[in-house]
Amino acid sequence: MGKERIYLDHNATAPLLAEAREAMLGALDLLGNPSSVHFEGRAARAVVEKARRQVARLVGGDAAGVVFTSGATEAVATVLTPNFKMGKADLRLGRLFVGAADHPSLLGGGRFDPQQVARLPVDRDGQLEPGMLDDALAAHDAKAGPAMVCLMLANNETGIVQPMGAVAQAVKRHGGILVVDIVQAAGRMVLDLEGLGADFLILSSHKIGGPKGAGALICASEILRPAPLIPGGGQEKGHRSGTENPPAIAGFGAAAECATERIEHTCDRTTELRDRLEAGMRQQCPDVIIHGAHAARLPNTSFFSVPGMRAETLQIAFDLEGIAVSAGSACSSGKVGPSHVLAAMGFDSEQGGVRASVGTTTTDADIDAFLAAFEKIIGKRAAVSEAADGGTAIP
């Protein structure tokens, strides 16, 4: 039997928590439809509503504001629309601003016309300049309708955290709507809906140890809501039709509860592991580039480039050593290509970067194994360079 593999790709998906698995198995035995009023239906509804409270607690929100979806992508497609309701009145938005380094699902603009979507640049550290956002919002023609700003709180590739307090102030100053994607931040940062100043949050189950295929759009107010993406039977108070999936939702809720209870320990432990990983890489390869190292970042994420080595080459080399890392995002059907995140930051997008993301199951031994593999891989780079300079070829 081969050696046990090491998983350092928690930003792609986190291992399913035992608590989530247990909640899902219990919900699988429920017969009723959550919309049915008989005993069986009420039992299924109770599971859904418990999870709604658990997810709301994770972000310091109200359970009434949680709309369950099939995942974060659906939540994005739901909220990125120019068509809203303010109470019973129609509200038409005039423009969408997204971060140039953000996830492709945000960059696509959802249901906005492409001509209505504008990308906000980031600096060398991957952060948005709030003053530039303020200028962009000031230049927006309010007669066309309020503007929406949608940003990732923490980038999925680099882990870089945006200055959301200043962003929220700018958005509110200009009467806009703020949507914050907390997919990567959830479970890795203490979150507070009101403190973020957001009107809507986007959340995914499988990034926090819940099952794949579940997510949520979390609304700060019952008054302001997007036009439904999926009309039909009127489930989720009419905001997302289709019979709810109690097993997936139950697992999502259990994972959210665990994330809430363990957040301080998770932050401390993953920071320790990431810092040791990066210190080891710098010692073995002084010219390694750790992107966003001087900016606020998630405690579990390291995104790096090695001069002279393409990201996919590094990823394959680590995989052959039994270590799972990503060459950028894992959200594009497994394709590896130029990193739009690095391009937005002004780096070589063709060379790309490698993301190592640790989690609650990562051990010190895992970091030791990563560094041993990194040293071996870097040694091959040195040998190739020596051969190119006329030295001894690699045997």
Distance CA 45, CA 35 (A): 7
Token pair listed for 44: 């299924």
Q: Report whether 383 contacts 394 (CB < 8 A).
A: yes
The total number of residues written for the chain in this structure:
395
For 44, counting Cβ atoms within 10 Å of its Cβ (0-12 exposed, 13-18 middle, 19+ buried), the class is buried
8-state DSSP, 348: -
Distance CA 323, CA 140 (A): 47
Q: What is the helix (H) or strand (E) element at residue 164, kind and residue range? A: helix 164-173
**Separation in Å, CA 48 to CA 43, 65, 232:** 9, 14, 19
For 126, counting Cβ atoms within 10 Å of its Cβ (0-12 exposed, 13-18 middle, 19+ buried), the class is buried
Q: Report whether 51 contacts 252 (CB < 8 A).
A: yes
Examine the residue annotation and report whether 331 is marked as an active-site residue of this protein. yes
Query: Over the Cα atoms of the chain, what is R_g?
Result: 22
| Residue from 199, 190, 126 nearest 158 by CA | 126
Decide: helix, strand or coil at residue 248.
helix
Long-range CB contacts for residues 37-46, cutoff 8 Å, separation at least 24: 44/246
Q: What is the helix (H) or strand (E) element at residue 14, kind and residue range? A: none
Task: Report helix, strand and coil shares of the chain as percent, to nearest 5.
Answer: 40, 20, 40
Strands 323-324 and 6-7: parallel
Identified catalytic residue from 219, 258, 285, 331: 331
Decide: helix, strand or coil at residue 211.
coil
Q: Report whether 264 contacts 214 (CB < 8 A).
A: no
Residues catalogued as catalytic: 331
